[in-house]
Structure formats: C-alpha cells, structure tokens
Amino acid sequence: MTFSLTILGNSSAIPTSTRYTSAHVLNVHERFFLIDCGEGTQMQLRRHKIKLGKINHIFISHLHGDHTFGLFGLLSSYGILNRKADLHIYASPDLERIINDNVLAFNIFLPYKLAFHALDCSISERIYEDENLWVETIPMKHRIATCGFLFKEKPKLKNIRKEAIEKYRIPVKEIIRIKEGADFKTSAGQIISNMELTLDPPKPRSFAYCADTCYHKGIITKINNVDLLYHEATYTHDLADRAKETYHSTSYEAALLASEAKVGKLVLGHFSPRYKNLDILLNEARKVFKNTFIGEEGLTFSIE
C-alpha cells in the first residue's frame, strides 16, 4: 500500500527558471492529497504524471502567494474538464471569500461542488478522516496564520495466520474478533492466545508537513517519531537572523528539529531562490541529521 510524497515545487517566494513554488502530493493508498498550490501546480501535476482528477483534497498551509497562486488555474481547469466529484479545500477561512470573488471575477465554471473547510491554525485539530488515514493540523509560527499537517495511517487489524485457522478449525465469524485481538476458545474448551493466532500488522506510517515556519520546539510533541518530515529550509544558517526576522527556518534548524523529534527521514524544501546549488543546504542539515534529503522537484519519497 503506497504512502509517498512527491515534490512539485521547492522554491520560496518566487519561482526561478528551473524551480516552481510550493506544491506537494501525498499518495496514501492511491488517494492523492495536494499540499499547497503555488503557481504552475497544474502543469507540474501533468509533467509528473499525476492525474488532476485523482486529487479530491487540497490542503493550503497559509495565504501567501507562493503557496496559493496555482489554485485559480487548477479550479478553472477542473471546470473546463467537467469535473463532477466534490473538491475539498482546507485552509484559513479568508480563502473561501477570495475563491468566491475570483470565481465570479474570472467567470470560472464550477460544475463540481467546492467544499470549503475553514482551519483555525492556532490550535491542533483533526480535519480529515477516512478508513485508512486521519489528518491533524499543527500550528506553525509564521508571519500570518499557518497550519502544518500531520498525516497518519490508522492502525490496521492484525493478520491472522492461515495455518492457525486450519489447525484450530476457526469459524469465519470468529476471524474479525481475533484480528481485533481476542483469544480463541476451541470446541474442546481450550483457550488459544491471540499471540499464537496472529501476526502484528505493519506499523501505521506518518508524515508531517511543516511550512512556513521558524524553528519552533513546540511542535516536537506533535511530530515525534513521524516516518517522514517535510520541513522548510529557506536559508542556510549564516542567514539565521534573516530567517528569524521573516519567520522562516534555516537548514540547520530543520535538521535540529528532525533530530529532536526522532523522525525517520527529513525532506527539505522551500528554498530561497538565492541558492542555485542546493548541496550547501543539504550538507548543513546532514551534519545534524544524517537521513536528510533535498526535496528536488519530481522526486518521490516513499515510506515502505
């Protein structure tokens, strides 16, 4: 079952000739979640062979243009392509009015329902849930209200051992109870412990998206032990003052947080256009947290 993050844009503030602004797709069991939507996101989706129609949920961290300017084009294209499925947008409440205004202004055709979910980025709350996954917000520290997002798989039921079914002649109606953790009583009255009957399910996987934000220790309890952390790394640490002033993070700070939160893997993004070569950001982070990677556009990070 897939659990992977694809990077569509990694530039902060403005695009460069080779890099787009923020946009990311999380694929959980072939459900696709778009996280932020910078200008050109719809082109990047096409370029990286992610079907536009597969996206039903869009999470917007905050209302700066480098995270949102691709939204009107995407909504408009969905209309022209005659989308019928509901489209859910999770964002600061202001965005609903802005979208409505632009839909009117540019005469955007919406043959589908646009379901808006207003977020309060000052708290952490569960904003999405399906049979496989839930999503909770993480309050970021930025110049304006900003939400990070924690995506976490739900625990799966245990796997029952096939040979145990035969050995103890377990009837079908008992199987779900055993998968849930119950012991089994044979027709002879013998109690077979659940441990003997089942294998543990795979550990639920988790991903945290943290952007835009300054270094913020307060979120560690929230992102503790996630398998994959995306954290913004706008600057190298020699520009720590600039990072602080603009409520952004340095690559060193992102790595420090990853280390403190004991995450599995760190992916950096949201790079200042001043960095032509991103190795300097990678090297800075790896000194603190070895399992760090640059969120190169087009790359997919999978959690097995």
Asked whether the beta carbons of 212 and 232 are under 8 A apart, the reply is yes
Q: Write out the residues near a copy of itself by the rule CB under 8 A.
A: 13-17, 20, 39-40, 42-43, 46-47, 63-66, 68-70, 72-73, 76-77, 80-81, 94, 97-98, 101-102, 105-108, 144
Nearer to a copy of itself, 93 or 181 (CB): 93
Starting at the earlier edge strand, list the strands of the sheet with 265-269. 126-129, 133-139, 147-153, 206-210, 228-232, 265-269, 292-294
Closer by beta carbon to a copy of itself, 234 or else 292: 234
Closer residue to a copy of itself, CB minimum distance, 15 or 204 = 15
Catalytic residue check, 238:
no
> 160 and 179 in contact (C-beta within 8 Å)?
yes
Closer residue to a copy of itself, CB minimum distance, 68 or 292 = 68
Question: Which residues are registered as beta bridge partners of 159?
Answer: 199
CB of 282 to a copy of itself, least distance (A): 24
> Which tokens is 148 given?
């990070």
CB of 108 to a copy of itself, least distance (A): 6
Residue of 36, 66, 212, 227 marked active site: 66
Cα separation, 256 vs 116, in Å, equals 35
Q: Which residues contact 157 (CB under 8 A, 6 or more apart)?
A: 176, 179, 180, 201
- For residue 138, the minimal CB distance to a copy of itself (Å) is 22
Nearest residue (CB) to a copy of itself, 44 versus 250: 44
Q: How far is the CB of 47 from a copy of itself (least distance, A)?
A: 5
Provide, rounded to whole angstroms, the least separation between the CB of residue 147 and a copy of itself.
17
CA 101 centroid distance within chain: 28
Q: What is the 3-state secondary structure (H, E, C) of 248-290?
A: CCEHHHHHHHHHHCCCCEEEEECECCCCCCCHHHHHHHHCCCC
The residues that are catalytic are 66
